[in-house]
């Protein structure tokens, strides 16, 4: 299996496609919390037609090793490590939720590595204290005894998926639950703490980002609502915003075609017209 060593342990990755030109950036896909690289199954092939696609599993998720306690800034540095190990000079970084948070920090901490950003259903800000306390209680419960499906269905599924998806695609919810319960509890908990409890506000820093940026959000996103995406789009010079009807937080899974209608042309433009 392909693994890359980083300061947060070994991360699993998969590749598709090839660069068309020697100087073309790679296309790096970063998934959301409680998911793994498989959540990009609707995007990988269309993007692989444009160039080299690298899909990474985050620490404690998918086939990647659990990490010690970390902050999102350290995760961005670990991604920098990975780029060096697998020969990525520059990348168009596509991140959803957690992935978008890390992508923004990579662009701030290692700007020379980033050729473009696609930020899906994510936030540059911190959550309200009451929300963080609630999430921390959920994380502690799962680490100790697991997380019952009834509680997942009541509390987490509405944060992840829009109403139509929950009504018409219950197998997606069930598959999400099964996969999440299969992750090593300690590693998952440490990642969740980094994402939802200890996350810092980087919104004031985003005007320093100077690469083409696409911001996408489902209109029914209850986890990182559209106003969070609107704030990111206002902060990054020249960023474009797209809101997608009928989907929630997991837009790339809920309506891949609608996401690809914005994402694929954006990535093509970044490759064809590099800055």
Q: Check pLDDT > 80 for residue 254.
A: yes
In sequence order, which residues have a C-beta less than 8 Å from that of residue 129 and are 6 or more positions away?
Answer: none
Q: What is the pLDDT of residues 72-123, one digit of tens each?
A: 999 999 999 999 999 999 999 999 999 999 999 999 999 999 999 999 999 9
Let me know how long the chain is: 275
Q: In this structure, what DSSP letter does residue 139 have?
A: H
Nearest to 85 by CA among 190, 183, 15, 33: 15
What is the structure's pLDDT at 275? 63
Structure pTM?
0.96
Residue 146 has a pLDDT of 84
Query: Torsion over CA of 134, 136, 140 and 146, rounded to 10 degrees?
Result: 60
**Owner of token pair 């914005």:** 262
List the strands of the sheet with 53-56, edge to edge.
3-6, 9-16, 53-56, 26-30, 91-96, 114-120, 213-218, 240-244
Q: How many CB atoms lie within 10 A of CB 71?
A: 15
Tokens (6 digits) for 42: 């609707």
pLDDT of residue 10: 97
Structural domains of the chain ordered from first start: 3-128+190-272 (3.40.50.1820)
- Rounded to the nearest integer, the mean pLDDT of the chain is 96
- Position 21 pLDDT exceeds 90: no
pLDDT in tens, 125-167: 999 999 899 889 989 988 888 889 999 999 999 999 999 999 9
């Amino acid at each position: 299996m392909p693994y890359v060593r980083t300061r947060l342990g070994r991360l699993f990755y998969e590749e598709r496609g090839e660069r068309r030109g020697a100087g073309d950036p790679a296309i790096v896909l970063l998934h959301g919390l409680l998911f793994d690289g498989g959540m990009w199954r609707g995007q990988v092939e269309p993007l692989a037609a444009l160039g080299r696609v690298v899909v990474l599993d985050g620490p404690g998720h998918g086939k990647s090793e659990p990490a010690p306690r970390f902050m999102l800034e350290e995760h961005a540095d670990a991604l920098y490590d990975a780029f060096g190990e697998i020969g990525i000079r520059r990348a168009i970084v596509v991140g959803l939720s957690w992935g978008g948070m890390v992508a923004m920090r990579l662009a701030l901490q290692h700007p020379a590595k980033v050729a473009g950003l696609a930020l899906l259903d994510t936030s540059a800000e911190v959550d309200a204290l009451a929300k963080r306390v609630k999430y921390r209680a959920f994380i502690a419960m799962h680490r100790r005894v697991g997380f019952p499906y009834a509680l997942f269905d009541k509390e987490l599924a509405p944060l992840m998926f829009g109403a139509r998806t929950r009504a018409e695609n219950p197998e997606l919810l069930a598959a999400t639950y099964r996969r999440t319960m299969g992750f090593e509890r300690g590693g998952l908990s440490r990642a969740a703490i980094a994402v939802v409890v200890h996350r810092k506000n980087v919104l004031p820093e985003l005007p320093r980002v100077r690469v083409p940026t696409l911001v996408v959000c489902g209109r029914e996103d209850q986890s990182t609502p559209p106003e969070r995406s609107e704030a990111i789009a206002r902060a990054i010079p020249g960023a474009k915003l797209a809101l997608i009807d009928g989907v929630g937080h997991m837009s790339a899974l809920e309506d891949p075609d609608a996401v690809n209608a914005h994402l694929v042309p954006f990535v093509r433009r970044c490759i064809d017209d590099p800055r």
